[in-house]
Structure formats: structure tokens, C-alpha cells
Amino acid sequence: MVLTKKIHNFSAGPAILPQEVLKEAAEGILDFTKGLSILEISHRSKEFEAVLEEAKSLVKELLGVPDGYSILFLHGGARLQFVMAPLNQLTVNGYAAYVNTGTWATGAIKEAKIIGKVNVIASSEDKKFTYIPKGFTIPADADYLHLTSNNTVYGTQYRQLLESPVPVICDMSSDIMSRKINVSKFALIYAGAQKNMGPAGTTLVIIKNDFIKDPGRTVPTMMSYKIHVENNSLYNTPSVYAIFVCMLTMRWLKKVGGVEYIEKKNREKADYLYAEVDRNPLFRGVTVKEDRSVMNATFVLSKPELETTFNQMASEAGLSGIKGHRSVGGYRASLYNALPFESVKALVEVMQEFERKKG
């Protein structure tokens, strides 16, 4: 199939992948090795073991993962990690500290409360999650602190992640691989792959080995980090194809210059779009400027009655996926790693044309 018109994919996830990765992924379906599809080979074959080891090696290289950490590819998305993290790390007699910055943090808190005691130490719910809480105290006796680094629904992001006296667990589903991080500051990082790493179907987990402990409860085998580490993500059949495409995507990221390079490009895209949102009188940003997400730019029309007109113009220009999350409305342009600058430029040009016609 050949597209006759360029589609600019701003989808929040599953999200845009590099074109060369899509081609390689398609080739892998048809013939990965010796006439067999990647969909047909055993997850315990030497061919897939090589894929898994390369994927883990690329995670370690691109993110600078130090020794003493294990890298896993698991099922269930970030939502399963909402459960696995407290099930494994929240002790029976202890408690966990959570910061609530939006939809996914709220979901993580809800699940953790089923497992044990949770203290929500800060929240931006009072202003509809339009900012990142600051100036709060992290209790030194908590089992861990849980953060959500980027909030896809509301468009906020921690620009600098917190210093903590207790181990930090962080949901990085929507900004993993988009910027440099100091992995040693975290005890556990988890991220659904479908934003910057690959397709839906697998979840990256990076866990500090000495953070794996006995929480004082029986943990079901499939929910145990210890079991998955001991079995190298192969306790059960992993998401073979999703891991394969993650490997290809990380190869691409390394080829173009790695995380440091892509962080600069992502910032250029975000700055360009936010400058137009702030300049154009027909648009208004939703979040506090200092907490704006580089990954998910959210904005609304200053004249909501013109929504149909703008939507039509965006569609005619090949802009896909800019509608805001169903829970908040408005618009959201996701600026993930594989989105080219030309797509952001196309969106800005539509916004400027919209101003000329309706401003």
C-alpha cells in the first residue's frame, strides 16, 4: 500500500514509529530467519534469545543503566505495574508515598491502596492536574516514593525528577528514551513500550537488584519481579514481536544519535509548537508553562464554537491524532521521538491559516 498523502501522526499511543523500523518489522514478519517469520519462532530459540539480549543491551546503552540493575520485558502494560510494584515492594506493615499528577498516577494510587497503606503526599488535582506539585516533604520512613514522570492526558512533565530519601519507583511510559535520565536515582522504572520504544504489547521494567525484597506477603508467581529476573523475562512466553520491534526502534535511536540527540530534537519540536500556542490568539495552553510536557502538548481553542472548522482544516492537512483525551477534550499533539519536525511545522501552519481565516 502506498499513501498518496502525507499523514502527520500525533497519536498519544500506540504512537508513531520510524518508517525504516516499520519496513524492517514487516520484513521480519515475512522472513526473519531461514524462511520463518518472527511470529513463528520459539521464544526459547537462539534466534529470539539474540533479539532479547540485544534489546536489553540497547536499553542499558541508551539509558546508561549501571551495573546492579536487571532489565525485563513483561506483559500487561503500565496498568499491571500499578499492581506489581506495590505487591512486591510495599511491605505488609509499611506504607508507600505517592504523588498524584493525573489520570495514570490516580490509577496507580487506586491499585496500591488495594495492596496496602498509601500516603498521597502531594497532588495537583485541586487545579485539574495543570501543574506539577512542588515544595512537599518526602517521608523518610516510606517503603518507596512513586512518581509519574510525564502525564499524557493533561500535558505536564517533571522537568527535573526529585531527590528522595527513599527508593523511587517511576512510571516513565510516555517519556522513556526521550531524554537523558540518571537511572541510579531510581529503584524501579517501568514503561509501556507504545510511546517511544515500539508497539503495544510489552512493558520495559528496569529494577535495582537489591530493591527486590520479601514484602511479607505471598506474591503470585507471575507477579514476582524475583521470578522474572531469575528467568530473564522468559518465565512465560514473552511478547516476541513487540520486543523485536522495540529492538529495531532502539537500533534506530542509536543510529540517529541516541537519547542526547533526540532530547534536543524533541525540545525543538515542543518549543516551536508552544511558541505558536502562546502567540496565536485563537489558542490557549492548558498547563502551567514551567511544567509543560515536551511529549504531549495540550491546548484549547479560545473560541470553542470554531472547533468544527479547525478540525476540518486539520483533517484536510493530514493531521491525525490531535484530539484531546476523551476525559478533558481540547487538543493534544504528541511529539514522540519518531515524529519529524515537518509534522509539527504542518500543524503550526494550519494554526496560522486558521488565524488568518477566523482571527
Q: What was the pLDDT predicted at 2?
A: 43
* Catalytic residue flag (residue 278): no
Q: Which domains are seen in the chain, by residue range?
A: 21-256 (3.40.640.10), 258-358 (3.90.1150.10)
**CB-CB contact of 287 with 130 (8 Å):** yes
Residues facing 145 on adjacent strands:
97, 168
The position carrying cell 525484597 is 213
pLDDT tens per residue across all 359 residues of the chain:
344 457 999 999 999 999 999 999 999 999 999 999 999 999 999 999 999 999 999 999 999 999 999 999 999 999 999 999 999 999 999 999 999 999 999 999 999 999 999 999 999 999 999 999 999 999 999 999 999 999 999 999 999 888 899 999 999 999 999 999 999 999 999 999 999 999 999 999 999 999 998 999 999 999 999 999 999 999 999 999 999 999 999 999 999 999 999 999 999 999 999 999 999 999 999 999 999 999 999 999 999 999 999 999 999 999 999 998 888 889 999 999 999 999 999 999 999 999 999 98
**Cis previous bond, 66, omega within 30:** no
* Catalytic residue flag (residue 195): yes
Question: SS3 sequence, the chain?
Answer: CCCCCCCEECCCCCCCCCHHHHHHHHHHHHCCECCECCCCCCCCCHHHHHHHHHHHHHHHHHHCCCCCEEEEEECCHHHHHHHHHHHHHCCCCCEEEEEECCHHHHHHHHHHHHHCEEEEEEECHHHCCCCCCCCCCCCCCCCCEEEECEECCCCEECCCCCCCCCCEEEECCCCCCCCCCCHHHCCEEEEECCCCCCCCCCEEEEEEHHHCCCCCCCCCHHHCHHHHHHCCCCCCCCCHHHHHHHHHHHHHHHHHCHHHHHHHHHHHHHHHHHHHHHHCCCEEECCCHHHECCCEEEEEECCHHHHHHHHHHHHHCCEECCECCCCCCCEEEECCCCCCHHHHHHHHHHHHHHHHHHC
Q: What was the pLDDT predicted at 163?
A: 87
Cα–Cα distance, 354 to 334 (Å, whole number): 20
Q: What was the pLDDT predicted at 5?
A: 57
Instruction: Give the residue from 211, 154, 222, 157 showing the smallest Cα distance to 183.
Output: 211
Q: What was the pLDDT predicted at 259?
A: 98
* Catalytic residue flag (residue 104): yes
At residue 50's C-alpha, the angle toward residues 49 and 52, to 5°, is: 65
**Of these residues, 56, 143, 195, 291, which one is catalytic?**
195
Q: What was the pLDDT predicted at 3?
A: 43
| Global pTM exceeds 0.75 | yes
Instruction: Give the residue from 51, 52, 28, 50 showing the smallest Cα distance to 235.
Output: 52
Cα–Cα distance, 96 to 90 (Å, whole number): 6
**Of these residues, 56, 143, 171, 291, which one is catalytic?**
171
**CB-CB contact of 335 with 152 (8 Å):** no
Q: What was the pLDDT predicted at 1?
A: 38
**Of these residues, 104, 175, 269, 291, which one is catalytic?**
104
